[in-house]
Every structure is written in C-alpha cells, then in structure tokens.
Chain A
Amino acid sequence: DTGVSQDPRHKITKRGQNVTFRCDPISEHNRLYWYRQTLGQGPEFLTYFQNEAQLEKSRLLSDRFSAERPKGSFSTLEIQRTEQGDSAMYLCASSPRTGRAETQYFGPGTRLLVL
C-alpha cells in the first residue's frame, strides 16, 4: 500500500497562468476528495468524487477551477488564470468503499505559489 501521492509537490507560477495538479489515490479507494489549505488554517473542502462521478463541489470552487477523475482512478485539479489568492496547499485524500470508509487518507499536498 503506497499511500496517496500528489504531483508536483511544489509549483510556482505567474498570475494568469494555468496549472494542473495530479492525485493518485490508494488503489481500490473509490472515494476521492480535494481540499485547500491556507497558512495557519485548517483544510477546506473543494470537491468529492465517487468513482468517476463528481458528486459535490464547494462554492469555493469558482469557474476557474475544474476537477476530473476520468477513469475513477487518478484525479486532476486545474486552475485557470491563476490569481495570487489561489496560493495555498492543495491536498488530496481518498477513502475506501468499505471497512474504514469514513477515514480519509491524505497525500503530501501540492504547494502552489502564484506570483
């Protein structure tokens, strides 16, 4: 069991550029979550996938944000026309269908800095 992985770990971009992050959940975990965490705060929920279906999106997820999970395995989070306020840690988590279904296993995060 290799855990949740995220790529890249760090991203520096200029305002107005597009960025894409990838999350690989624990294999056979059908639930996948994205959160955003700013300095000194707890993570805030962004969106949730069950298999390939995106079942919930936070109002924090403006139309510049899009997330996909095309085959129910890995997921991508894209931010278009980045703004300085998008600077944060983007965390991905997954959980299994059964057993410890309520526990979420987090990846190491992608730290985004928008200049």
Chain B
Amino acid sequence: SQQGEEDPQALSIQEGENATMNCSYKTSINNLQWYRQNSGRGLVHLILIRSNEREKHSGRLRVTLDTSKKSSSLLITASRAADTASYFCATARMGGYNKLIFGAGTRLAVHP
C-alpha cells in the first residue's frame, strides 16, 4: 500500500516559475527521498533528507521535512521545460532494509 500522498496530483506552470510539491506520510521514517520519472521510464534520484534534517538544497531543488507533521515539500525554482516529469516522494522506515514506500506522485508540466 502507498505510504502517503503527494499534493497536488498534477501541476501546470510556465517556464521560469517555481513549482512546489508536497508529500505526507504515515509512519516514523529514517529518511525521505524524492525521485523524478520521465514518461514511461525509470526513476532518477533527486535528493535525500534524513529524519534529523529539516532542509536540504541541491542546485535548483529545495526540500524541507517536518517530522512532527509527517510531511515534506519539494521546491523547484526557475523551472524549465525539461523539468516536465512525475515526481515521487519515497520514505524508508526506521530499522528496515531501506525499502522505499512511494506516494502516487505529482505530474508536473512546465510550458515554454
């Protein structure tokens, strides 16, 4: 079963705008990761944030984590048409084998 939900399910923006996606989860976690998937292809790892971290940056990506609310957000700044993809958050539980539990994803469309 899915760990949680991404919000919104779909997002359509213009190039240059920022895109924010949210993720909620249900159980205590060791880490939370964001992945990108271009249509019908494999997943590409974007960023990992551990349960004791609150914010992390990587290039145009900013991820926050609020363990008290069991939620995370992914911000993509100055979006490009090439950012068009589905974005998934995935959580790894404490003490597990790091198997990932994915949400249903946010489909982002960036228009030139």
Contact = CB atoms under 8 A, between A and B. Distances in A.
Q: Answer yes or no: are A and B bound together in one complex.
A: yes
Interface of A: 4, 31, 33, 35, 40-45, 48, 50, 55-56, 89, 91, 93, 95, 101-109, 111
B102 A104 contact: no
Contacts of B103: 42
Contact of A106 (B2, B40, B44, B105): B44
Tier of interface size on chain B: 20 to 34
A74 B89 CA distance: 27
A93 B98 CA distance: 12
Given A31-B97, A31-B98, A43-B43, 13 more contacts: A35-B102, A40-B104, A42-B102, A43-B88, A102-B31, A102-B98, A103-B33, A104-B100, A106-B43, A106-B45, A108-B41, A108-B42, A109-B41
Contacts of B11: none
Interface in B10-59: 30-31, 33, 35, 40-45, 48
Contacts, number: 64
A45 B100 contact: yes
Contacts of B42: 4, 91, 106-109
A42 B88 contact: yes
A101 B48 CA distance: 11
Interface string B55-83: 00000000000000000000000000000
Given A48-B99, A106-B43, A42 B90 contact: yes
Contact of B97 (A42, A43, A55): A55
Question: Which of B41, B100, B103 counts the most chain A CB atoms within 10 A?
Answer: B100
B98 A95 contact: yes
Determine which residue in A35, A42, A45 has the highest number of CB atoms from chain B within 10 A of its CB, and name it. A42
B92 interface: yes
A42 B99 contact: no
Nearest to A111: B40
A50 B98 CA distance: 11
A41 B90 CA distance: 12
11 contacts: A35-B102, A41-B104, A42-B88, A42-B90, A43-B88, A45-B99, A45-B101, A102-B31, A102-B48, A102-B98, A108-B42
